Structure 1
Amino acid sequence: MLGHLIQPEEETQLITIYRVDSGGMPTLFTSLSFDEARKMGFEKFGKLLGENLILDSPKLRDLFSRDVL
């Protein structure tokens, strides 16, 4: 089962998203600086984050594919 880990990192000022495979091994998916997220605003950043997670998750993507297409 594919999962995700969202990690806000204070030292690097990055929000990093990892894919986590069925064995628990994380792989970098994407990252965004705190400044970039702040400039987007809460609503836009939340939407981007949610869309990225849904589109990267096969089961969620299938669940919502009719709504998107």
Structure 2
Amino acid sequence: MLGHLIQADEETQLITIYRIDTGGMPTLFTSVSFEEARKMGLEKFGKLLGENLILDSPKLRNLFLP
């Protein structure tokens, strides 16, 4: 896997995370509505977003988990 793309789409009101493979092709990973994120608050949503990215990335996951 090459990485992730985070898209905040004002038209659909969704924050979407895609996995990007080594060929550059995106695959849907997860999606959260603006309203859900707003209800969580900045700190909780930021933590959730960061944890999702870290746990989905083998190299980052190895930095934090045994």
TM-score of the two chains, using structure 2 as the length reference: 0.96
Q: Which residues of 2 match residues 1-69 of structure 1 at below 5 A?
A: 1-66=1-66
Q: Post-superposition shift, 1:41?
A: 0.2
* Identity between Structure 1 and Structure 2 (%): 85
Q: Post-superposition shift, 1:2?
A: 2.5
User: How many residues in Structure 1 have an aligned counterpart in Structure 2?
Assistant: 66
Q: Unaligned 5+ residue runs, structure 2?
A: none
- The runs of at least 4 consecutive aligned structure 1 residues that moved more than 2 Å come to none
Mapped to 1, the partners of 2:38 and 2:56 lie a distance apart of 23
Contact 1:4 1:17 in 2 (8 A): yes
Contact 1:2 1:20 in 2 (8 A): yes
Q: CA RMSD in A?
A: 0.8
TM-score of the two chains, using structure 1 as the length reference: 0.92
Q: Deviations over 1:14-50 (max 9, x none)?
A: 0000000011100000000000000000000000000
